Amino acid sequence: MSQEGFSGPLEQIDECCWRVPKQYKPGMRVEGRIFADERLLPQIRADQAPEQVANVAFLPGIQEASLAMPDIHWGYGFCIGGVCATDPDQGGVISPGGVGYDINCGVRLIRTDLRYSEVQGRIEELIGALFQQIPAGVGRGGAYQFGGKALDRLLAEGARYLETKGLATPGDLEHTEAGGSMEGADPQRVSQRAKTRGNDQCGTLGSGNHFLEIQVVEEIFDQKAADLMGLAPDTLCVMIHSGSRGLGYQVCDDYLRLFRTVPAKYGIQLPDRQLACAPVDSPEGQAYLAAMRAAANFAWANRQLLMWQTREVFAQVFGRSWESLKMNLVYDVAHNIAKIEEHEVQGVRKTVCVHRKGATRSFPAGHLEVPPRYRQIGQPVIIPGDMGRSSWVLVGQPASMQRTFGTTCHGAGRVLSRSAAVKKAKGRRIDHELAAQGVIARCRSWKGLAEEQPDAYKDVSVVVDVVHRAGLASRVARLRPVAVVKG
């Protein structure tokens, strides 16, 4: 995170939205808008993320505003929590910095019929088995190997390919964003180096802020929506947060290198070279989109295999099939992705390229991309907290379509950089502190827990309150962590 604070103007639009005026920097095509309230403003001003919101407003073809969610913090090019839509018919661009290095980093939530009050004594055994059997940590490979034609099919088809291998069910695909497979993915646009890095990483958790967490449904706010999702008080759930691993990182790195000279080629002037971009309809833009979609498919397959292994561990520990435990996927959402979507902009229906970086799609009831099961309530939105505080399930609301191109936040948002978090944890045992709060933590390293300690994040309940009041998504359930595996 940037150490300098933001001293530029933030003008209040309403109780949950603030403006960086278009006049702030010559070259801004639209204004910036940050969703926050007075409680979050000091943290938002503490680094240069609002400056990045202003910089994104320079992108050709940007529509309406450069947006940021309440989990906003400093990122590469775009802030984390950054959203923008560009119109290809107006020279709109695609920017790898608006997707991020971990392409389709995302979260999925699995519900069960197990009651915490009945299995509380077995949670330590359960998290121990998950920690032993699910690969986690930097560069860790796993049991599933995909190379050559098999990897190309995985990149082209995503989780749908796993269905042909008996590793995914139709219900799993139905409750995954985009059905777990983006059309237009082209494995040939993915470098051999990226493919090599991905050979044994599908079905692995990774490191950093990725996790597998056992949670308990603590409180219901929308009974109808909770019933449709199968969420009831005292029941166990599993939340999985992971992305496209080394393959996606390499795809981003490859195209950032390729894009270095592209803005000059098309006469695009940018305030930050990390915003390197190409017109969506250009050869370079189309190549990146095809590679990004392939990496996104890899990520959906990765989370599917992580869920499959989790089901196997639950079945072993409890001596019952995962089907009898009703370990059904509630939903899977992407956090770092760019999608071609239709939206209404100032009364006109347009096809735009929506960048969501550290941001979650939040489509309302009735939208055709919401699975039939949830179409009457809206798309499930999953917002994880930190290891010591609750996570939330919400549903998309109509105002998200009017205000944010169908988007809301993706998490709590960091307030400490990883190095600052490690410094703050010196001399402490984060695992013991979490245990005192009733959370069993397993991690490959002390540093991993130090970087992800609760103090490193904003209070997710405040962040969720903002998106609820702003009408971007409405609360359904709060889930409390009881055990976690970190990479």
Phi, psi of 145 (to 5 degrees): -115, 130
**Structure tokens that stand for 134 in this block:** 């699910």
Q: Do 245 and 198 meet the contact criterion of CB atoms below 8 Å apart?
A: yes
Contact indicator for 273, 95 with CB cutoff of 8 Å? no
Could you tell me if residue 212 is inside a domain?
Answer: yes
Whole-angstrom CA distances from 252 to 159, 186, 299, 357, 482 are: 21, 15, 14, 13, 35
Q: What is the pLDDT of residues 82-95, one digit of tens each?
A: 999 999 999 999 99
In this prediction, residue 199 has a pLDDT band, given cuts at 50, 70 and 90, of: very high
DSSP string computed for 358-379: SEEE---TT-TTS-GGGTTT--
**What's the distance, Cα to Cα, between the start and end of the chain in Å?**
21
Find the CATH number of the domain harbouring 86: 3.90.1860.10
Q: How confident is the model at residue 275 (pLDDT cuts 50, 70, 90)?
A: very high
Cβ burial, residue 426 (10 Å; 0-12/13-18/19+):
exposed
H/E element, 149: helix 148-157
Q: How far apart, in Å, are the Cα atoms of 235 and each of 130, 163, 218, 302, 482?
A: 18, 28, 8, 25, 12
Burial 322-357 (b: 16+ CB within 10 A, else e): beebebbbbbbbbbbbbbebebeeeeeebebbbbbb
pLDDT in tens, 1-25: 555 789 999 999 999 999 999 999 9
Angle at 237 between CA 232 and CA 243, to 5 degrees: 140
Taking the C-alpha atoms of residue 439 and residue 437, their distance in angstroms, rounded to an integer, is: 6
Average pLDDT estimate for 452-463: 90
What does the pLDDT read at residue 1?
54
Find out whether 282 and 141 touch, Cβ atoms under 8 Å.
Answer: no
- d(Cα 66, Cα 84) in Å, to the nearest integer? 5
pLDDT the model gives residue 416: 87
Between residues 481 and 446, the one the model is more confident about: 481
The string over 188-208, giving b where at least 16 C-beta atoms fall within 10 Å of a residue's C-beta and e elsewhere, is ebbbeebbebbbbbbbbbbbb
% residues pLDDT > 70 (the chain): 99
Q: What is the pLDDT of residue 2?
A: 54
pLDDT at 141 over 80: no
Asked, for residue 48, whether it belongs to a domain, the answer is yes
Distance CA 350, CA 230 (A): 36
Query: In the chain, how many domains are there?
Result: 1
In this structure, the number of other CB atoms found within 10 A of the CB of residue 173 comes to 22
User: Range of 132's domain?
Assistant: 11-486
Closest CA to 8 of 51, 44, 38: 51
Backbone φ and ψ of 218, nearest 5°? -100, -40
- 335 given a catalytic annotation: no
pLDDT digits (tens, 9 = 90+) for 374-432: 999 999 999 999 888 899 999 999 999 999 999 999 998 888 888 999 899 888 999 89
Please check whether residue 430 lies inside any domain of the structure: yes
List pLDDT tens digits, range 209-251: 899 999 999 999 999 999 999 999 999 999 999 999 999 999 9
Residues 107-135: tens digit of each pLDDT: 999 999 999 999 999 999 999 999 999 98
What pLDDT does residue 3 have? Answer: 59
Mean pLDDT score of the chain: 95
Burial class (CB in 10 A: 0-12, 13-18, 19+), 121: exposed
Which residue in 210, 355, 367, 410 is the catalytic one? Answer: 410
In a domain, 405, yes or no: yes
Higher pLDDT, 448 or 213: 213
In a domain, 4, yes or no: no
